[in-house]
Amino acid sequence: MVTNKVANSSDLQAIEHYVKGANHINSNEVDSPRLPQSKSYLKIIGLPYLQEDSANPLNSNVVEKIIKDNHIFNNIMLALKPHVIKVSPKSDMAIVWIDIWDVQSGSNAKMLINRCFNVGNYIATIRGANMNPGVPQCKNCWRWEHSTFLCCIQGAKCIRYNGPHKSEHHRQFAWCCKANAKTNPPQLETKQGEPCSHSFKCSNCWGDHQADSNICPFWRHRFNHDWHS
C-alpha cells in the first residue's frame, strides 16, 4: 500500500479497519498493519539442548515463550520462528537463532547484543549474527548444496528412502508400502491415505530419517558453517 506521507498510528488503525471490513476477508487472519521494517539477526548461546527435567530437546515454541516472558525482549517482534540446533553432535548445549524486526539503523539489535538473561539455572547471552544465506537442497534428488534447477539426474528421487520416484508417489511405488505375499509373514499394503510407517533412508548420510531432516549430520555441518559469525 502506497501513501503520500509516512503513516502514523491513526492511519494504520484506519487501514486495519478498512482491510478487516472488506468483503471475503477473514478478519481473524489479518495481522495488524505496520510500516516497512528491516530484519536483524541474532543468536542466543548458553542454553541447554534438553529442556530442564525432561528428555525433550529445546524447540522454537519453548524459545518463543522464554522470549515473551523476559522483559529485555519487550517491544521486540520476531520476524520468523526461532531455530534451535546443537552446538555440536556431542554437546549438550544449544544455539538459538532469532530474526527480529528492526529499523534500518538496527537499534533493536544493538539494544540486545551482549545482554544476558536467566533461563532456570542457566545464563543465556545474546550475540549478533550474520544473515543466514541458506543451505540449498534439491527438491528433485534431495541432496544438499545444489538447487533443483541445477540438478543433473534424470527422473526424481523419493525423500523418504531415495527410491526412483517422486515423494508424493511413495505409497504407490515403494516396496515397503506394497503388498508382498511371498514374505513370511506376508507384507500388507499401506492403506490409502495412511502415511508410511516404515524406516526411512536419507540420501545424504544414509541415516534412518528423511533426506530433509535437520538431524542429518551433513545438514548440521553445512548449517553450522553457513551461520558462523
Q: Are residues 158 and 142 in the same domain?
A: yes
Q: Are residues 105 and 148 in the same domain?
A: no
Tell me the per-residue pLDDT of 29-60, one tens digit each, with 9 for 90 and over.
777 777 777 889 999 999 999 887 778 889 88
Residue 1 falls inside a structural domain: no
Q: Are residues 138 and 199 in the same domain?
A: yes
Residue 24 falls inside a structural domain: no
User: Can you tell me the distance from the alpha carbon of 161 to that of 167, in angstroms, rounded to the nearest whole number?
Assistant: 9
User: Can you tell me the distance from the alpha carbon of 15 to that of 28, in angstroms, rounded to the nearest whole number?
Assistant: 15
Residue 26 falls inside a structural domain: no
Number of domains in the chain: 2
Residue 20 falls inside a structural domain: no
Residue span of the structural domain in which 57 resides: 38-128
User: Can you tell me the distance from the alpha carbon of 215 to that of 220, in angstroms, rounded to the nearest whole number?
Assistant: 7
Residue 117 falls inside a structural domain: yes
Picking from 77, 95, 128, the residue at the C-terminal end of a domain is 128
Picking from 73, 93, 128, the residue at the C-terminal end of a domain is 128
Specify the range with the lowest mean pLDDT, choosing from 71-75, 186-190, 223-227.
223-227
pLDDT above 70 (res 179): yes
pTM exceeds 0.75: no
Quickly list H helices, the chain.
Answer: 9-20, 60-69, 107-112, 170-173, 217-227
Q: Are residues 82 and 122 in the same domain?
A: yes
For residue 123, the SS3 value is strand
Res 31: pLDDT:
78
Q: Are residues 179 and 195 in the same domain?
A: yes
